[in-house]
Amino acid sequence: MGTSSSKDVQGKPVVLIVGGGYAGVFVAKLLDKNGDFNVVIIDRKNYFLHNIGLLRGCAVEGWEARCTVPYTKVLKYGSIVQGEVESIAEDGKSITVHGYDKPIKCDYMVVCTGSSYAFPCKVAEADKKNVAAKYQALRKSVKEAKSVCVVGGGAVGIELSGEIAYHFPDTQVTLVHSGETLLSSTDHSAKFKQAALTSLQSFKNMKVLLGQKVKNESLDKKALQAGATTFIEGHQTLETTKGNKMEADVTFFCIGTKVNNRSFAKTLTIDAQGRLEVNEFLQVKGLERAFSIGDCASIEGKMGYFAKFQAQNVAKNIHAMEKKKKLTPYKKAEPAMILPTGPKGGCSEIKGLVLGNFLTRNIKSADLFCSVYWGELNQKVNKPQEEATEQRMKKSQLSLEAAMGMTAEEIKAIQEKGLGSEKKVKFIAMCRTKRTES
């Protein structure tokens, strides 16, 4: 599959974007904006996967359709190529693609291959039309389950637990986490971690077990063998290392990501985690015209929020290189997390300020940024259920304006995670003012 615009960008410097996830789309749009470059995105899928919103697909019929966005309108001048990248050249100037006779050459490359996280957090289907069936089957299993166990208390485990507990109030949900707090592997504040726990414990059908693991011998080992899915269907009695026993008809394992490095692991320099090593300008180690951002690069936290700032830096540096100007070092973004636990709850931490259900719901929980990313890819939200969501979001915006004195533009900036702007400072100041007044 290939899509492109009518404007002739032949003769312009070719920028090859390897991977069409959050990081790839962000940097591609910035470089494509004025037609200064011949931008080519290559991805194995024929759609953009908005995996930030996918977990609700475990419970809500048709939700996955909101998270699979066509690539067809994302670029004004460049092109999209569907293909499997087999390898990236050692000099960073070309790639080999499965089914192509010759390497694809470029003037600049941005490697954004991302990471893999097992279904249902992400889905590996190359064709959009095959996604729905996977979620339909999973929803049936979850709906019929009397009890569900979620192993892992990071962001994914917390969000998944909250979605199931909210949508299936008669289902007992148990979350088991080895850390003494939720989000124990992150740098977030103790207050935020406690807020996440409190949010989950607000569900009457939710139980959280901390500081313990599910014993390996109590699992269906066949289902957990290499290459198998990370959820198990079928009734089991599970036991933890502290002797707690629980019943589970469906068991989910939310215990980590894997860097998508098959295309460069043997040709480029990687770190101990398998990520591409980059310098302060986000250039791949030893290469001048190859950059890397997102989950596959050896930089800060792995969230779409960070990818936007990284993309801005890389786009700025590629423009600078064309003009033979000095490059700008990347300045790490402030840590932030917006953590929904179902459509009406959750908590957030933005620059040290912990926010509760109301703001989290209005910023993210209700829609999970689905409408934002359809807009990011220049697509109209045209499904009836998505139009209804847009109406709810408009009402939420009015409520937030009334409560915080924010404008619609400021709310949109927060929803799009534009937290590096002056709006962030104003937003936090308003929050603190309201908190003091109350």
CB under 8 Å to 211, separation ≥6 — which residues? 177, 178, 179, 180, 242
The continuous run of DSSP H or E covering 349 comes out as strand 346-350
| b/e sequence 338-362, b meaning 16+ C-beta within 10 Å | bbbbbbebbbbbbeebbbebbbbbb
User: In this structure, is residue 30 part of a structural domain?
Assistant: yes
155 and 221, same domain (yes or no): yes
Is 364 within the bounds of a domain?
Answer: yes
Residue 22 lies in a domain: yes
Query: Across 247-256, 313-322, 359-368, which has the greatest mean pLDDT?
Result: 313-322
Asked if residue 150 is part of any domain, the answer here is: yes
Based on the domain organization, do 269 and 286 belong to the same domain?
Answer: yes
Is 249 in the same domain as 262?
no
E strand or H helix that includes residue 338: strand 336-340
Domain boundary among 291, 322, 353: 322
- Same domain membership, residue 389 and residue 311: no
- Encode pLDDT of 344-358 as tens digits: 999 999 888 999 989
pLDDT-derived band at 408, boundaries 50, 70, 90 = low
In terms of domains, do 58 and 95 share one? yes
pLDDT tens profile 283-314: 999 999 999 999 999 987 667 778 999 999 99
Domain that holds residue 240: 135-253
| Residue 12's CATH number | 3.50.50.60
In a shared domain, residues 6 and 111: yes
How many domains, in total, are found in the chain? 3
Residues 296 and 243 in one domain: no
Both 409 and 396 in one domain: the answer is yes
Question: In whole angstroms, what is the distance from residue 145 CA to residue 279 CA?
Answer: 49
Based on the fold, state whether residues 238 and 271 are members of the same structural domain. Answer: no
Of the three residues 222, 253, 284, the one that is the final residue of a domain is 253
Please check whether residue 274 lies inside any domain of the structure: yes
Here the tokens at position 125 are 């289907």
Q: How far apart are the first and last CA of the chain?
A: 56
pLDDT of residue 304: 75
Q: Tell me if 212 is assigned to some domain.
A: yes
This prediction's pTM: 0.83
Please indicate, yes or no, whether residues 295 and 340 belong to a single structural domain of this protein: no
Average pLDDT, the chain: 86
Domain membership flag for residue 327: no
DSSP state letter for 222: T
d(CA 84, CA 328): 32
286 in the same domain as 270: yes
Contact present, 129 and 274 (Cβ < 8 Å) = no
pLDDT band at 238 (very low <50, low <70, confident <90, very high): very high
Quick: pLDDT tens for 7-63: 677 889 999 999 999 999 999 999 999 999 999 999 999 999 999 999 999 999 999
Residue appearing with tokens 């709006």: 423
- Let me know if residue 126 belongs to a domain: no
